[in-house]
Amino acid sequence: MISVKINGVERLSIGLSKTADIQSLGQAVARACSFVQSAAKLKAHVNTGELREKIFTDIRIKGMEVHGEVYTNAPQGVYQEFGTGPKGETSHAGISPNVTPAYTQSPWWVHESQVSQADAERYHWFFIDTEKGRFYQISGQAADPFLYPALKDNEEDVMDIISHSISDIIGGLAK
């Protein structure tokens, strides 16, 4: 989840119609979040397309604060963003510096019912066959972040979207 907080909204609202301003600012944050959402969808690794389909935005107005979030609820999202196991721990390029994930150092076993045959073949996972089925040994995946870079790489664009919206609010109220 990526959150953006705009500071100074209270000062901006002094002397202006507070209800109209905060709603307009909410719309500006929604446009900025949509921009980041689109960038995240482009950066997200595509296997089945589920991850891209499950990148959402949420805008909340609470008093004089506007909170915008871009997030995913796809189960694989966190594993792609931060990586897993020893491979994830050694590949932090592009993830948020404010997050410090803990990684298991031991490989783990996954039953064949939990992974696709295509993935097992693509990653050349070691396997053993037992009376309970095939088990694949997995030692992690490198981080392939998509949410944090979608915001970080587009900070100027996000600020431009919001600042242009604020200029429009001020210009519209001055008429």
End-to-end CA distance of the chain: 38
pTM of the model: 0.78
What is the pLDDT, as a whole number, of residue 42?
A: 95
35: closest CA among 117, 124, 150?
150
Kindly state the tokens that stand for 45. 């690794």
In the chain the domains, ranked by start, together with CATH numbers, are: 1-83+144-175 (3.30.300), 85-142 (no CATH)
What is the pLDDT, as a whole number, of residue 21?
A: 74
Q: Is-contact 19 173, C-beta < 8 A?
A: no
Helix (H, G, I), strand (E, B) or coil at 2: strand
What is the pLDDT, as a whole number, of residue 78?
A: 93
Please list the pLDDT of the chain residue by residue as tens digits (175 residues).
555 555 665 555 554 455 567 888 899 999 999 999 999 999 998 877 899 999 999 999 998 889 999 999 998 899 999 999 988 888 877 888 888 889 999 999 999 999 988 889 988 999 999 999 999 999 998 999 999 999 999 999 999 998 888 887 777 655 5
